[in-house]
Chain A
Amino acid sequence: MITANDMTLTYNDGTEALRGINLKIQSGELVYITGPSGSGKTSLIKLLMGAEKPTAGQLQVLNLSLPQAGEKDLLQLRQQIGPVFQELKLIDGRSVLENVVLGMRFLEIPSQQWRSRASEALEKVRISHKMMSKAEHLSWGERQRVAIARAIARKPSLILADEPTGNLDHDNAVNILQLLDSLRNQDTSVIITTHATHLIDRQRTSQLIHISEGRIVPQ
């Protein structure tokens, strides 16, 4: 599903965010990427969702080789991913339901299924009672759940969650991680970045990748 060989990411301003990254993630795995703030976790997530391209080395995500990928390929890749952004990126002024449906409008999902899929996803994250509320009227924890619902309603092959426990109290953070854990199945892998290593259930984790200063550090 994902392979990276000696992958490097250097931003235009010369900042080297990642270097010498080697990865192999199979379908159906639950992978945690840990590390302190600024270690390169978000840069790795950006690479995996095709928001950035590696400046050196190889990266293959869902059978697409990123360095060679064109705009159309990147578009198709992103359509197979369910992203949960660190800053959530919900659209204010729109209802919770509309936010979730928006993630499906341009996918090959019949329009008749949009609402039922959205309801199902909101039910799963236990926020369906606020379906018609405006996104900006929710608490951070509730917004977090809506962002996850938007990701899972798309039935993606890969869920990428960037710091989904940030700004949450202990109980809510554990609930969110358990929820994301429950979403993985034979066809769906879940990759979560977090610096809250104490919340990780290591028994259920397929891989724990620790990044420090842009490099993978053996545990």
Chain B
Amino acid sequence: MKRSLVNLGYFIREAFTLLKLNGVSHLLSFVSIALAFFLLSLVVSTWWVSLQIIDTLQQEAEISVFISEDISQTDQEALTASITAIPGVMGVRMVSETEAFEQMAAILGEEAEVLTYFDENPFDAYLETSVDPSQAAVIYQELLLLSGVRHIRDNREVLHQIQSLTNLQRVLGLLFIAAAGTATLVVISHLIRQGVYQNRNQIHTLKLLGAPPSFIALPFLMVGLGLTLGGGLLATLFTRWALYLGYQQLAAPLPFIPLPPLTVLFRNTSLVILSLSLLLGIAGSAMGLKASRIQS
């Protein structure tokens, strides 16, 4: 280890010499790796956002209970009391037609103008029922049995659809990781083998002088790591830019989508991409060196 540190300058110089030896190949590989990691980071980011949305929606378990139009005030109060008595219900609040209209106007934001096209308020009054998310399914069934309830709406369907989308994204993400990983491994391993072949005379001399395999291999390992880590780094920079743009596009027109904080999303995605590039760099270089049989 101490000897490696003493020779660090030499290893870095050798790594640069190797990089220059096949400059164009290395540059193209670097760009390909960066592109693969960028696509991967986009898939990972959207997957992450979907998970975050599901998590947030699950925390905000609310059931909207629409009551029959011909129900009397007394029956409405009795119904409210019955709903409140159901275990797991944390609160019931009457939302008037006007309030429902205002809520939708707030959600639509700049697009709220569309509501002016209605001659009458198209929204019904309803009972906004806050529930324990873990008991939402049971409460939903019990509400259906109550008289005076016309229609029930909860976010389970939305959750289910997002969940399906997330599952698809997970599969896509894993496929992307496998594809980008395999491509990176093949590219790095091939470049290392090519480098070893082109430097075979120097390597042979070093072996005859008694250089240990680790001494010979380190510059090659640094080249592999440099390419993947550099590619990963470039990909995270592009990801930061893409996420920033994406948030600008999404957050303003769709303010009700519970997006995770941009900095947290970027930090987590970067961590995944850089860790992956580090692992793939080491693995690819090791594969290339093993195939080249750098031994005494």
Task: Mark A residues whose CB is within 8 Å of B.
Answer: 49, 51, 71-72, 74-81, 83, 85, 89, 91, 93, 102-103, 105-107, 111
B20 to chain A, nearest CB (A): 10
Taking CB atoms and an 8 Å cut-off, the chain B residues in 1-21 that contact chain A are 3, 6-7, 10, 17
Contact pattern, B 210-246, Cβ under 8 Å of A = 1, otherwise 0:
1110010000000000000000000000000000000
Asked if A106 meets B3 with Cβ closer than 8 Å, knowing A71-B295, A89-B201, A93-B17, the reply is: yes
Task: Mark B residues whose CB is within 8 Å of A.
Answer: 3, 6-7, 10, 17, 201-202, 204-212, 215, 295-296
B133 to chain A, nearest CB (A): 62
Cross-chain contact A75 with B202 (CB below 8 angstroms): no
Q: How many angstroms between the C-alpha atoms of A38 and B236 in the bound complex?
A: 60
In the complex, the number of residue pairs spanning A and B with C-beta atoms less than 8 Å apart equals: 50
Interface of B is mostly: helix
Cross-chain contact A83 with B3 (CB below 8 angstroms): no
Find the B residue at minimum CB distance from A89.
B205
With beta carbons under 8 angstroms apart, the residue of B17, B201, B204, B210 that contacts A107 is B210
With beta carbons under 8 angstroms apart, the residue of A75, A85, A93, A111 that contacts B210 is A75
A residues in contact with B208, CB < 8 Å: 49, 51, 78, 83, 85, 89
With beta carbons under 8 angstroms apart, the residue of A75, A77, A91 that contacts B205 is A91
Cross-chain contact B17 with A106 (CB below 8 angstroms): no
A residues in contact with B201, CB < 8 Å: 89
B residues in contact with A102, CB < 8 Å: 10, 206, 209
With beta carbons under 8 angstroms apart, the residue of A49, A71, A103, A111 that contacts B6 is A111
B22 to chain A, nearest CB (A): 15
Asked if A81 meets B6 with Cβ closer than 8 Å, knowing A71-B296, A75-B296, the reply is: no
A residues in contact with B295, CB < 8 Å: 71
B190 to chain A, nearest CB (A): 23
Cross-chain contact B17 with A74 (CB below 8 angstroms): no
